Amino acid sequence: MKAAPFDYVRADTLSHALETLNQYGGDAKLIAGGQSLVPMMAMRLARPACLIDINRLDSLKDVQLHDHEVRLGAGVRQRDLEFHPQLNSHLPLIAKGIQWVGHEQTRNRGTVGGSLVHADPSAELALAAMVLDVRLQLESTTEGVRTLQADAFFLGPMFTAVGETEALTDIIWPVWQGGRIGTAFEETAIRKGDFAMASAACQIQTTLEGSISKVSFGLGGVDGTPRVYPELAATLIGQHMSPALAQQVAHEAAQQTQPGSDMHASAAYRKHLAQALLTRALLSAYQESLHAQLPQDR
């Protein structure tokens, strides 16, 4: 399994990368970590005429922590997020989710932006991006800069709104304000680090009395894109979480999914997993919120 021949350009600046993308008019691909693209090229599922290497663009590696949002450059490596000293206090859901992303060897190369534009339906960062409703900033020489919300970005399996000559440059993650926030990320895979058969992520904020004031949750690996359930989440506001309630909500969410069957798991088993994992995530995020600091220590 060897990649088909291609030309290689190492970009010196973002505009150099974007201009080269434009010159090839859709026949070139940006390569960052390459942990999905290189295997696809080896299997010749991808045959770009040119690879534009954006690994050395420092402008894409910025991590900016603000009180209300975290701005991550698309080229930030997954491993750098994993060991970022303050990320956990700002975005605990990412800190938990990243543990499930591939292996140390792949996280050393893989980037946040690469995972999102690859848009594997079971990708953990894509699920976290949907649950936290991130904004994604895209740039091209012809269209300039535009931003999209996560639900307008993921269009289907391995399919996003990124145009052929466009690059994802920044991901802006909202940071929930106030304390008593709990998060959970649950997943089942054949081997830790492999593709999720199903995954569930949840972030919950509770009042001092223990009722839910804000909640978002989603499922990965069981549909063409990771999905979230704003209508179901809205029914939880003002309630106290209980095992029965978590199970009921998780059941309704799992029923709405349309997972596929493959050699690893049947569609019915994936639905079952989705329900079990989401039940667990809802309960665990809720419990964590009750014991979280108020206000959160940053």
Nearer to other proteins, 1 or 244 (CB): 1
Separation between Cα atoms, residue 218 and residue 256, nearest integer Å: 12
Is residue 150 near other proteins by the rule CB under 8 A?
no
Report 6-65 residues binding other proteins (CB under 8 A).
6-8, 10, 31, 34-35, 38-39, 41-43, 51, 53, 55
Number of chain residues interacting with other proteins (CB under 8 A): 31
Q: Strand 69-73 vs strand 7-10: parallel, antiparallel, or unpaired?
A: unpaired
Which residue, chain included where needed, has tokens 């859709």?
A: 26
Both tokens of 32, joined, read 């960052």
Chain-centre distance for alpha carbon 156: 14
Exposure of 257 by Cβ count < 10 A (0-12 exposed, 13-18 middle, 19+ buried)? middle
Report 245-274 residues binding other proteins (CB under 8 A).
none
Single out the segment in contact with other proteins by CB under 8 A; choices: 2-10, 62-70, 122-130, 219-227.
2-10
Report 90-109 residues binding other proteins (CB under 8 A).
102-106, 108-109
Nearer to other proteins, 3 or 14 (CB): 3
Percent composition of the chain: helix, strand, coil (DSSP 3-state, to 5): 35, 25, 40
- Range list of H helices, the chain: 14-24, 37-42, 78-82, 87-90, 92-97, 104-107, 112-118, 124-131, 150-153, 230-234, 243-255, 267-291
Tell me whether the omega of the peptide bond preceding residue 295 falls within 30 degrees of 0, making it cis. Answer: yes
Rounded least distance, CB 118 to other proteins, Å:
13
Residue in 28, 30, 79, 138 binding other proteins, rule: CB under 8 A: 79
3-state secondary structure of 125: helix
Nearer to other proteins, 79 or 180 (CB): 79
In the stretch 163-202, what mask flags binding to other proteins with x, by CB under 8 A? ----------------------------xxx---------
Nearer to other proteins, 108 or 296 (CB): 108
Report the interface residues with other proteins, using CB under 8 A: 1-8, 10, 31, 34-35, 38-39, 41-43, 51, 53, 55, 79, 102-106, 108-109, 191-193
